[in-house]
Amino acid sequence: MAEEAPPLRLVISDPKGGRKIIKVKVKGVEDEDLEYTKEMRREKEKGKVKKERSRLPLAKVNSKLAKELDLEEVGVLTLRFKTEDGRVNETFKVIIDDNVPDNTVHVNMEHLGELIGDMEGEAEAFRAKAWQIAIPQKIVERLAGLEIGDVFDGSLVGVEGVRFKIRGGSDATGFPMHPGVPGSGKKRVLLSGPPGFHPREKGERRRKTVRGRMIPDPRGERRKTVLAQLNVIIHYEK
């Protein structure tokens, strides 16, 4: 039986994110709706993220704050804390609950303790501009055959209510997908710019190895060549 590929890191961008910032009070609470599960935790090693979470942690806000930050459409919130070690950003999936006071965000008590070392704090809140989740092989298999520029329903990767447009990606060895190369295999091509090459001089061109624009089926890839990161942007109908 073939070894299962490592999870794919899905990097999601929201072009409407970050337009408005509001200072809020953040309170750690014991609330069964805000359970902080294993899937919501990042695995870290020597201060670096070894494995991304497969689900965003949860936060509660009232409908007034959700409307002010335009959270009803996508429902993903970033909190930016200032700590002694610098700034800490954390992204949450929002639950709207009008029992939460104005300009206040409720999060899991344990999670907030990990973030700032306290049960209460202040933060800048805004609609998330970008976030990451890890996707297992069985879900990546549903995306096989799609190409850069294609649009797909977010429910395919467990994100309901939005559509994603594929922007690019890279494999486990760092070779990027290129929109001008058909298929999913590697190819050495002459490039004058990104992805795959960043010229230092005007008009400079180099022959570089890139991947094709198609998402490969992970069942047919070796661990060293499997797609490791896929970049998507939320697609809004005009």
Q: Which stretch of 27-31, 33-37, 175-179, 225-229 has the lowest confidence by average pLDDT?
A: 225-229
Residue 10 lies in a domain: no
Residue 3 lies in a domain: no
pLDDT tens track for 8-44 = 999 999 999 999 999 999 999 999 999 999 999 987 7
Shared domain check, 85 and 110: yes
Go through the chain and tell me how many residues it has. 238
Shared domain check, 148 and 118: no
| pTM of the shown model | 0.89
End-of-domain residue from the set 80, 104, 128: 128
The structural domain count of the chain equals 2
End-of-domain residue from the set 128, 163, 197: 128
End-of-domain residue from the set 73, 93, 128: 128
Residue 148 lies in a domain: yes
Q: What are residue 110's phi and psi, to 5 degrees?
A: -65, -40
**Gap between the Cα atoms of 210 and 202, Å rounded:** 21
Pick from 20, 12, 23, 36: nearest CA to 79: 23
Domain, as residue range, for 25? 18-128
pLDDT tens track for 111-131 = 999 999 999 999 999 999 999
Specify burial of residue 126 (Cβ count, 10 A radius: 0-12, 13-18, 19+). Answer: buried
Residue 61 lies in a domain: yes
Shared domain check, 229 and 137: yes
**Gap between the Cα atoms of 175 and 208, Å rounded:** 9
